[in-house]
Every structure is written in structure tokens, then in C-alpha cells.
Chains A and B, each alone.
Chain A
Amino acid sequence: MTAALPGIPEEELVAPGHRACAGCGCILAMRYVLKALGKNITVSMATGCMEVVTTPYPETSWRVPWIHSAFENAAATASGIAAGLKAMGREGVKSVAIAGDGGTADIGLQALSGMVERGDNVLFICYDNEAYQNTGIQRSGATPFGAWTTTTPIGKVKRGEDRPKKDIPAIIAAHGAPYVATASVAYPLDFIKKLQKAAAIEGPTYIHVHAPCTPGWRIENNKTIEVARLAVLTGAWVLYEIEDGKFKLTFKPPKRRPVADYLKLQGRFRHLTDEEIAEIQRMVDEQCKRVGIE
């Protein structure tokens, strides 16, 4: 191995051979999570893409202790792990929960809320591919405005998702979690730094990573990183931290690009009229204004 990228651990704790789609952004997120956190962790994972593609019995990709129990309870199971470890005096092992946007924002929200409210020592990571991808691209609370999914199809009467994206990081910050951050698979160093920062905190921490889905977003397999990067460069996805309630932007796009640059690479937005794109641009502009991106 070359000495390149010294900030990124070389060990692979997610073994290849998993059944993720070609170009999957989420499994890349998993690779980064495990590079950042190392082997002294337990992973409690919700039902979803990552769970299913990494553990077709008798194979597994996980070179760390890993448990899947159900869809809505990654946080609760992880909380139980943290309690069990504490009760047995096992120090130095971090309980980590991982779920998709479905298992976080919708069906998983109660358990996550309970975990944060109790102050459990768990790092919760949401890999956000903006729909229930594993079951075939149905919308979630994290599906962005205007997106096609199978349950927000483009028809004569309705045209795609008509609700804005649920702001989960804000909800978790409102619970008083000591550390909340957003990340993107296109910015792995930033993601890894944030993961390590969160893991070092004793208490409930939350990281929300934006991770494109090649079939779900209708993008070409080789464009995953490009699309994720454009989300950030257009201000559609904002990279920030909220530490003890204080908001801090961690990346400011130098010259914010029009959101159309991001949307036009994705088939799930292909149907948008100029007017609809303008509407999305307005929403992005408002979001950027709120967080201090020009």
C-alpha cells in the first residue's frame, strides 16, 4: 500500500463479497464507519439494505460483533448493548447503531428518541439514501421534495414527493444530544473525523450521512460520488455539526452551484419542470440562508 491518504485507516473491517448494488453509496458509508471506529465496537443494525446485503447466511461481511434484531429498534438494541456492557464492567467497547433513513426517521424514530432522551452511550449513524430502498424504492420521511419513488410516482394528478425532507438532525439536537453531525460519502475524511469525534463522547451521538443509491435515485453506477458531491456543492445537502446545541457549518461551498446541476444527474428528478426546479431552488436557497451559506 502507498502512503497516500494517511488520515484514513487502511484496515478493512467490512469484507468485500457483500451483495450491495454496483456503485452503492451506503456500503461505502459502512466502510468509512468501520475505518473510523475500528474493531472495539458492537454494531446493532436495523433491517434494510445494509443488513440484508452484508449477511446472507452463512456469509457475513462484518469483522466486528454485529447484531440485527428488527427494523424499528436499532437504537433500542444498541441501548441494551450499552447497558449490558456497563453492567458487566466491559469498558473500551463502543455500542454503535446503524440504520437507513427508514429505520431512523420513520419506523425507527421512537427507539432513537428514547435512546437520546435516556442519554445512552450509543453512536447512532443514519445512512440516508432517501427512501425505503431495500424494499424497492418506496418513499420515506427523508425523501426530498419532488423526488419520484414508487409510492410518490409521477402521474396526472400527483407528481412525486410533495412533502419536505424530515429534519432528523434537528430533532436529535432538540433532544439535547451532545453531538449531532451531517456527513456525505463524497467527503470521507470529514465523515471519518466526525465519527471519531462522536465515538469519543460518552453519551448519545448522532451522525447522518448522505449516501446515494444507484437504482433508487436512477443514477449511473459510476456517478455515486459525483452526485453526492454535487448535493453538497449546490447546498442541497449541508455539512455541519451541532455540539451541545451550538450549530457550526463544517463546509461552505466556495461558489454555490445551481441545484439543477445536482438534480439533472438523477432519473428520480427527470420529470421536474423548470417551475418545479425553481421551487426546489427556493427551498435550497432558504436552507442555505438559514445556515450561513451564500
Chain B
Amino acid sequence: MRQVLTGNEVAALGAKLARVNVIAAYPITPQTAVVEKLAEFVADGELDAEFMKVESEHSALSACIGASAVGARAFTATSSQGLMLMSEMLFIAAGLRLPIVVANANRALSAPLNIWCDQQDSFAVRDSGCVQIYCEDNQEVLDSIIQAYRVAEELLLPVMVCYDGFILSHTAEPIEVPEQAEVDKFLPPYEHPHPLDPEKPVTMGPMGVPEYYEEFRCMLQQAMCAAKEKLVGVDREFGKRFGRRYGLLEQYRSDDADVLLLTAGSLSSSAKELIDRYRKRGERVGLVKVRAYRPFPAEELVEALGHAKAVAVLEKDISLGWAGALFTDVSAAFVNVKKAPLMMDFICGLGGRDVSQLQIREALRAAARAAETGEVRRPVHWLGLREKIVGLGV
């Protein structure tokens, strides 16, 4: 069934179609409509779930942890400062191996306060042990949430589905909404292998003494790494049933490209437009989009990017004091690879700053220059900066 829906609406719809049992979420711009929509579904009896009016994001994920531990399918959604407040529990949910799905409307981090889109929030928690998926459009958001529960429950890992705040969360797009009966066939009910149950008491979250802690973390790492194959498998199955597939990466006109853009999220759509224009002129450029960021698809990226002369990473985040997360991780993927492209990092779109075609072109041109000269003098650049106004010597 075709409907016109915003990113927030599809996030709520995804949870509804996944038949979540417990929703515990705290409103924060630009995610609020997710919580409101779910409250409506429950109030109208359209979704048979417990809607918890939690008093903070930290309690939201804590409640999801409790619910998931007894075997209930749990869902939360947040953004930015909420994600930061929740972050303690993200690491804990992963360590406790609970298959909670967290929808995150990507938004800038304070300070200063900013409600608009960038990806600093979810990149800041990339170490948490949550699987992270970055969606390009609302259809992908809906499909990814449904897929997320399969991945989460089969591996016992929390999964975070990220979508750009305002750009996707508040933008209505035509969506193919899967039928409930089809989703039910794809997503069986959740069954935790050893939930909290008086008939079979278990202790969850003990003190992990030095004699055992490292092993626990290694097991978590193994599960995260296994998530790569799981994501591919679940996506393939989803594709067979619903006709839409996404993969770990998307390679857009990249096979024979000398210069490649690397993106994540909705920015990929804008960048693809520029790629098309350049291709019309005969330039060998392309784009690789990262969809699954954790686990990091290092091998797949090396294969997708390795043949290029230069790669321009466009990302809406920065690890202050160094570079953006995507650039850092993809550089590391190439560290022992003999034939590696030159790489440049373009920090852009922070705090909702629009990333224009001109800005993307600047990045592409810089990468093309690097491809030509064979050198990169400065790896990290900022796009769209109003240097003169604030007197920055960047």
C-alpha cells in the first residue's frame, strides 16, 4: 500500500508493524512525532503494546532493557542530547546482549544548542556495541526497522537505525508500506533464549571480574562482527519478500570511477545528483554510500574504493581534535593495503547547515585535484564555513 509519510511516521510505523510489546521513549526534537504517533497507535488500540511515559531517555532505554530481558520486544527512539543521556545504557544494552531497536533522528550535539541535522550524535556512540544503520530515505527507514528486529533478535544485539533529523524525519515521501501479514511472516515473535523467568531463574548483568570481563567483550565483538553477515542475509531475505534490498554499502556508478565520494545518510541522494551531472560530462566519478556503519564493512569498502585514485569523504560529524569518524575508519581499513586511494575528509552540514551542490562540487574537485597531483596536503577540510564572518582562519 502506498502512503506519503515522514521519517518519523515511518519509524513509528516500523515499530507498529514489528508488533513491539513495549515502547519507552522520551520526546526530543526532531524525533517527537515518533513518540506521539506511537502514543496514538496505542491509544486507538491499533498497536497492542505498553506505552511507557518515561521521564528521561536514560530511563527509556533502561525500561527497554527490563522489558527485553523478560522477553518482550522493546522499542525506543531518540536524538542528539537524548542519545547522549541514553548512551550509558546503549553500552549496557549491548553488553547485556538485548535485542532492542533504537531509532535515532540524527541531530547536532550541544554546545551550542542546535536542533537541526547532523550525524555527530550517533557517530559519538559508535563504540557502544550497537549495530548502526544509516538510512538514505524514508523507505529505507521503514524497511530497516523491520529488518533490525530480525538482526537484533537473531544475534542478541541492540540495533540503531539512524535517519537525518528534519531532512528525513520531517519530510514526507511516497512509501510502499508492507502488509502486516507479510511482515509477520518475515518477523517471527521474539524469543529470548533465557529470559528473566521465575521458573528458570537467571542472573543478568553480574559483576564481570577481571578473570572473565575480557572474554565477555570478545564475545560481544564476535557477535558484532557476525552482524555483517546477518545484515546481508536478512536484507537478502527482505528483498525476496518485499522487493527492496539495501546491502551493507551502495555502489553508485563507482566501478570505473577515478574519484569517489563516500557518504552516509540522506546526503547520499544530493551527492548522487552531482555524480550524475559529472557523468553526463564524461567524468569518471562515482559514489559509495555506507549503510551499515557498525559493524564496519572494512573489506567491502576496500573493495569498493580501492581502485579509485582519490576518495572524498563527506560527513556530518567530527571527532574533535582529529577528523570525522567515517574518514578515520575508512583510512584504517586501508592501512595495510598496498594499493590505496588518496583520501580527504570533508566536514559539512553541521547543525543543519545545508550541504549545497556547490559544496559537494568543491569536495569532488579537491579530490580530482588530488587524483591528478598524486598528493593531499591537508586531509581534513570544512565545507560551507562562513570563515570571513566569524574570522576563522580555517
B63 near A80: Cβ-Cβ < 8 Å: yes
In whole angstroms, what is the CA distance A88 to B92 when docked? 24
Ordered by A's residue number, 24 sampled pairs between the chains whose C-beta atoms are within 8 Å are A39-B198, A42-B198, A55-B203, A56-B206, A58-B206, A58-B212, A60-B206, A66-B202, A67-B203, A69-B92, A70-B62, A76-B60, A77-B63, A77-B66, A78-B66, A80-B22, A81-B70, A83-B24, A83-B52, A84-B66, A85-B70, A90-B70, A111-B62, A113-B55
B207 near A57: Cβ-Cβ < 8 Å: yes
A76 near B69: Cβ-Cβ < 8 Å: no
Contact with A along B9-51 (1 / 0, CB 8 A): 0000000000001101000000000000000000000001110
Contacts of B43-99 to chain A: CB distance below 8 A: 48-50, 52-56, 58-60, 62-72, 74, 88-89, 92, 96
Counting chain A CB atoms within 10 Å of each CB, which of B206, B208, B212 scores highest? B206
A114 near B55: Cβ-Cβ < 8 Å: yes
B198 near A64: Cβ-Cβ < 8 Å: yes
In whole angstroms, what is the CA distance A10 to B199 when docked? 19
B59 near A87: Cβ-Cβ < 8 Å: no
B67 near A65: Cβ-Cβ < 8 Å: no
Query: How near does chain A come to B63, taking the closest CB pair, in angstroms?
Result: 3
In whole angstroms, what is the CA distance A79 to B51 when docked? 11
Query: How near does chain B come to A193, taking the closest CB pair, in angstroms?
Result: 22
B55 near A79: Cβ-Cβ < 8 Å: no
Please tell me if B196 contacts chain A, counting CB pairs below 8 Å.
yes
Please tell me if B197 contacts chain A, counting CB pairs below 8 Å.
yes
Residues of B with C-beta under 8 A to A182: none
Lowest 10 CB-CB distances: which A-B pairs, in order?
A80-B66, A80-B63, A84-B72, A84-B67, A114-B55, A55-B206, A76-B62, A65-B196, A76-B59, A87-B21
In whole angstroms, what is the CA distance A110 to B70 when docked? 23
Query: How near does chain B come to A14, taking the closest CB pair, in angstroms?
Result: 12
What total count of A-B pairs have CB within 8 Å?
Answer: 160
Given contacts A63-B201, A80-B63, A93-B198, 6 further A-B contacts (CB under 8 A): A57-B212, A77-B66, A81-B69, A84-B22, A114-B55, A117-B55
Query: How near does chain B come to A67, taking the closest CB pair, in angstroms?
Result: 4
A67 near B204: Cβ-Cβ < 8 Å: yes
B198 near A70: Cβ-Cβ < 8 Å: no
Chain B minimum-CB-distance residue to A44: B66
Please tell me if A68 contacts chain B, counting CB pairs below 8 Å.
yes
Query: How near does chain B come to A90, taking the closest CB pair, in angstroms?
Result: 7
Please tell me if A241 contacts chain B, counting CB pairs below 8 Å.
no
Residues of B with C-beta under 8 A to A57: 206-209, 212
B21 near A84: Cβ-Cβ < 8 Å: yes
Residues of A with C-beta under 8 A to B66: 44, 67, 69, 76-84, 95
Contact with A along B231-247 (1 / 0, CB 8 A): 00000000000000000
Please tell me if A118 contacts chain B, counting CB pairs below 8 Å.
yes
Residues of B with C-beta under 8 A to A95: 66
Residues of B with C-beta under 8 A to A52: 207
Residues of B with C-beta under 8 A to A80: 22, 24, 52, 62-69, 74
Please tell me if B282 contacts chain A, counting CB pairs below 8 Å.
no
B70 near A51: Cβ-Cβ < 8 Å: no
Q: Residues on A close to B: CB < 8 A?
A: 39-42, 44, 51-52, 55-58, 60, 62-70, 72-73, 75-88, 90, 93, 95, 110-111, 113-114, 117-118, 120
In whole angstroms, what is the CA distance A71 to B34 when docked? 28
Residues of B with C-beta under 8 A to A83: 22, 24, 50, 52, 63, 66-67, 72
In whole angstroms, what is the CA distance A85 to B198 when docked? 12
A69 near B205: Cβ-Cβ < 8 Å: yes
In whole angstroms, what is the CA distance A85 to B52 when docked? 13
In whole angstroms, what is the CA distance A60 to B92 when docked? 19
Give which listed residue, A58, A66, A84, A110, contacts B59 with CB less than 8 A: A110
Query: How near does chain A come to B67, taking the closest CB pair, in angstroms?
Result: 3
Query: How near does chain A come to B247, taking the closest CB pair, in angstroms?
Result: 33
A76 near B63: Cβ-Cβ < 8 Å: yes
Counting chain A CB atoms within 10 Å of each CB, which of B56, B63, B88, B204 scores highest? B63
Decide yes or no: A84 and B54 within 8 Å by CB, A68-B206, A111-B59 being known contacts.
no
Query: How near does chain B come to A216, taking the closest CB pair, in angstroms?
Result: 20
In whole angstroms, what is the CA distance A80 to B68 when docked? 8
In whole angstroms, what is the CA distance A92 to B52 when docked? 21
Query: How near does chain A come to B94, taking the closest CB pair, in angstroms?
Result: 12
Query: How near does chain B come to A66, taking the closest CB pair, in angstroms?
Result: 5
Chain A minimum-CB-distance residue to B204: A67
Contacts of B169-208 to chain A: CB distance below 8 A: 195-198, 201-208
Chain B minimum-CB-distance residue to A85: B70
In whole angstroms, what is the CA distance A120 to B205 when docked? 23
Contact with A along B87-126 (1 / 0, CB 8 A): 0110010001000000000000000000000000000000
A87 near B56: Cβ-Cβ < 8 Å: no
In whole angstroms, what is the CA distance A41 to B49 when docked? 22
Decide yes or no: A68 and B65 within 8 Å by CB, A41-B198, A114-B55, A114-B56 being known contacts.
no
